[in-house]
């Protein structure tokens, strides 16, 4: 038996080589250290705002979705540092998988809402005044949270195949049991709706921006362009790779038995793309900085205050 066969069996069994576990753990640690302060500051800044708007409602809920997932990253870190051993039990395993999908799909659809809101503000500023109200945004967000929670609730109540005898949590990454035609359809539909909304909104926004003269409504144009760049970057880096990998994974396993090498490659790709979804927690605070004045002012106030303090200390 050669080394490659042994490593392949380890990946298939859910126990990658130690070095790979360390790499994943270090990545999650880096995300946690950077994302927690950024999203916590955003949530604090949003809660302090007296006035509100649809975009502020969407951004506030996006920060809540990010924090709900980032705060459970320490369990993933421990899991990988323990060489793929899950010591937290069944309930924590279920909750970890539930919050992963809750964050991902709430984030996807909230980005769709933000894009749609910006489309209305740029393309239909007058006609959309009756629609672009905080109360409607709150209703839309409430429906979104309810729908996603209900859709993902089976994860919380599923009993079989949650962990195996070695303490490996099968809710953290895709497993063969999740590969079915119904899972494939639900994945495509769930991802296609926000993707279509974002693409169409941006196409129409760009068409509108072409008609705006250089000196006309420059702030609106700049803000729209920044939003397009930030959300598309976030979308392409964090969510597209995962869903492409998920579709390939499900389709490959649905077609019948596969060889061990193919399975190992799919398992590794799923771990990589699942980790990349955390990038959204890093990029969202950047989006808040450019799209929300309260967050930007709070961030600059703290940064400038600390810098001034350091300058005074160096002069003493």
Per-residue pLDDT band for 162 (boundaries 50, 70, 90) equals very low
In the chain, the number of structural domains is: 1
Ranges 131-140, 234-243, 260-269, 280-289: which has the least confidence: 260-269
Average pLDDT value for residue range 241-260: 85
Mind listing the pLDDT tens digit for each residue in 57-71? 999 999 999 998 898
pLDDT at 39 over 60: yes
Mind listing the pLDDT tens digit for each residue in 97-152? 999 999 999 999 999 999 999 899 888 888 888 889 999 999 999 999 999 999 99
- The answer to the question of residue 315 being in a domain is no
In angstroms, the CA 316 to CA 302 distance is 21
pLDDT at 258 over 80: no
- The answer to the question of residue 234 being in a domain is yes
Count, in order, helices (H) and strands (E) of the chain: 12, 0
Q: pTM score, two decimals? A: 0.84
Task: Indicate the average pLDDT of the chain.
Answer: 82
- The answer to the question of residue 156 being in a domain is yes
- The answer to the question of residue 207 being in a domain is yes
- The answer to the question of residue 286 being in a domain is yes
The domain that holds 67 is classified in CATH as 1.20.1070.10
pLDDT at 305 over 80: no
Is the pLDDT higher at 51 or at 295?
295
- The answer to the question of residue 103 being in a domain is yes
- The answer to the question of residue 125 being in a domain is yes
Is the pLDDT higher at 109 or at 46?
109
- Boundaries of domain holding 157: 3-303
Mind listing the pLDDT tens digit for each residue in 217-230? 566 677 778 888 88
């Amino acid at each position: 038996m050669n080394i490659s066969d042994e490593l392949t069996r380890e990946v298939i069994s859910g126990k990658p080589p130690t070095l790979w576990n360390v790499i994943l753990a270090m990545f999650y640690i880096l995300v946690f250290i950077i994302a927690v302060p950024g999203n916590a500051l955003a949530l604090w800044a949003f809660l302090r705002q007296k006035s509100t708007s649809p975009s502020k409602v969407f951004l506030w809920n996006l920060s809540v979705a990010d924090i709900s997932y980032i705060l459970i990253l320490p369990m993933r870190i421990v899991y990988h540092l323990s060489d793929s051993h899950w010591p937290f039990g069944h309930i924590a395993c279920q909750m970890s998988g539930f919050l992963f999908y809750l964050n991902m799909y709430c984030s996807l659809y909230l980005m769709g809402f933000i894009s749609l809101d910006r489309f209305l503000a740029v393309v239909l500023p007058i006609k959309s005044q009756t629609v672009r109200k905080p109360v409607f945004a709150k209703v839309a967000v409430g429906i979104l949270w309810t729908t996603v929670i209900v859709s993902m609730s089976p994860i919380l109540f599923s009993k079989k195949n949650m962990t195996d005898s070695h303490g490996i949590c099968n809710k953290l990454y895709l497993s063969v049991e999740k590969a079915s035609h119904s899972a494939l359809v639900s994945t495509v539909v769930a991802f296609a709706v926000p993707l279509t909304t974002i693409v169409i909104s941006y196409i129409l926004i760009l068409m509108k921006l072409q008609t705006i003269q250089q000196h006309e409504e420059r702030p609106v144009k700049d803000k729209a362009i920044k939003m397009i760049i930030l959300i598309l970057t976030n979308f392409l880096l964090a969510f597209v790779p995962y869903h492409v990998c998920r579709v390939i994974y499900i389709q490959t396993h649905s077609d019948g038995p596969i060889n061990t090498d193919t399975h190992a490659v799919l398992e590794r790709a799923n771990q990589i793309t699942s980790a990349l979804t955390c990038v959204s927690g890093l990029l969202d605070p950047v989006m808040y900085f450019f799209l929300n004045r309260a967050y930007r002012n709070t961030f600059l106030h703290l940064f400038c205050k600390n810098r001034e303090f350091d300058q005074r200390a160096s002069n003493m």
